Amino acid sequence: MKNIPQCIGIIMDGNRRWAKARGLPTLQGHALGYEKIKDVMEWADEAGVEHIVIYAFSTENWKRTEEEVNYLMNLFRKMLIAEEIKEMKRRELRVRFIGERGKFAPDIGEGMERMESETKDGKKNLWVALSYGGRPEILVAVKNILREKNKDEVEKLTEEDFSKFLWTAEMPDPDIIIRTGGEQRLSNFLPWQSVYSELFFTETFWPDFSKEEFEKILEEYAGRERRRGK
């Protein structure tokens, strides 16, 4: 396939509704959603996509019930255990986390650092947005710029310079953003980075997202003309 996207962002929506539709405990949908990430990384590798960015937990998600937040925290812990690190290394995946790390329990923060360190030689990239929000990201960047640069330097700041202060500094802007679950909004996901992303919304709940649908999106993307205002 020609015109392969370099970077794909994914808003993984519909886990709870998927479980509810099947008469299952709603939290079970998150567990199936986690397994789906592994499938998508395999499909992306086969297609030649180098970067996948998943919206795993937003800054607003902290407002969910204590039961659900605790369940998700334990799911993140599962992702960070030694066996999962070995699996990521086997897949040659470099895993990086973006978001407000300070809000997580110390063991989760340590797990993130360990995962990043031990997978740093991976050839493909999985970016995991945890406690991520696009507006908080921009605010943090502005504060850091004002802290580190004088007035003259700020006046000369370019968009490229600004991007270096974002949590996603080493990540290419997404060529595609996919949202499953039927909603058609970005929900504070990569607002700075997505200004020229091609958007794809699907009714499919995230646990049901298939390789066929993924490949169909890539085919449609390949046929789009991206003029970027020209």
Q: How far apart are CA 10 and CA 138, in angstroms?
A: 20
Report phi then psi at 70, rounded to 5.
-65, -40
Q: Provide CB contacts within 8 A for 97, sequence distance 6+.
A: 112, 115, 116, 127, 128, 129, 130
Decide: 51 and 6 in contact? Cβ < 8 Å: yes
* Residues with a known catalytic role: 13, 61
Of 88, 85, 86, nearest to 77 by C-alpha is 85
The residue with tokens 């970067």 is 51
Q: What is the DSSP letter of 222?
A: H
